[in-house]
Amino acid sequence: MCGRYTLLAEEVEILKEFGLEHQIPDYTPRYNIAPGQKVLAIIHDGDQKRAGFLKWGLVPFWAKDPKIGYKMINARSETAHEKPSFKNLLKQKRCLIVADSFYEWQRTDNGKQAKRISLKERKLFAFAGLWDKWKQDEEELYTCTILTKKANTFMEPIHDRMPIILPKEQQDNWIEPVKWEPEEAHDFVTQLTLDDLDAYNVSDYVNSAKNEGPECIQSLT
């Protein structure tokens, strides 16, 4: 799964990396982004790419209770195209969720060890995400989920699942403003290749979503 990540880049770096023309209102770098919080996402509205904030934890438009979002921070890519909550979103509500590393907790003989994981060759990257709009009376929510897959060889010793990180050359393809069949989206993410990853141990300070700051990413070695 993917339950915590970072985005430390300055706004100008994000605009340049993703080819965005407009500034990002209220953007602040973050050391410990957690479910239920606002996350920076990019969509294509048919005319241009736009960046804004979505709440992490998908609330499908048909949900009766928005609390369902806390159970839907991730979507399994292997079956998303078959699930009512996700398959229609794969058609035309695909988004980029911007990050520069993520955390995972490895089981050890001494308990769980927090690790920070990033790409070796790229500072900024994007998770493959899905988004939806939920409305009830006067309340509106724009929410998202991160697609995950079975861990690759690098991640297997750490955790059995991992987020889908889009290759740089496939980011725009993922959010292109065309309608896909759910099976097409499934095939797209299945065939993706991944850049090499790197990881190092961090302290249990990051374990609490309330904690924020450089201590979250400080190496233990």
* Higher-scoring residue by pLDDT: 117, 195: 117
Residue 221 has pLDDT above 80, yes or no: no
Residue type, 31: Y
Q: Amino acid identity of 120? A: K
**Confidence (pLDDT) at 137:** 85
Residues 5-216: name the CATH superfamily: SOS response associated peptidase-like (3.90.1680.10)
82-128 per-position pLDDT tens digit: 998 899 999 999 999 999 999 999 999 989 999 999 999 899 999 99
* C-alpha span between 37 and 33 (Å, rounded): 7
Of 81, 61, 62, 60, the closest CA to residue 72 belongs to 60
Residue located via tokens 């993922």:
174
The answer to whether 104 is a known catalytic residue is yes
**pLDDT classification of 140: cutoffs 50, 70, 90:** very high
| Averaged pLDDT of the chain | 95
pLDDT of residue 95: 98
| Per annotation, catalytic residue among 17, 95, 104, 144 | 104
pLDDT of residue 199: 97
Q: Which of 2, 95, 144, 216 is catalytic?
A: 2
Q: What is the mean pLDDT of residues 182-200?
A: 94
- Give the model confidence (pLDDT) of 4-56 as tens digits: 999 999 999 999 999 999 999 999 999 999 999 999 999 999 999 999 999 99
In angstroms, the CA 138 to CA 102 distance is 35
67 contacts: CB under 8 Å, gap ≥ 6: none
- What is the C-alpha to C-alpha distance for residues 111 and 109, in angstroms, rounded to an integer? 6
Q: Is residue 216 annotated as part of the catalytic site, yes or no?
A: no
Cα 45 from Cα 92, distance rounded (Å): 10
d(CA 153, CA 203): 24
Which has more confidence, 195 or 133? 133
- Rounded to two decimals, the pTM is 0.96
What integer pLDDT is reported at residue 88 of this predicted model? 94
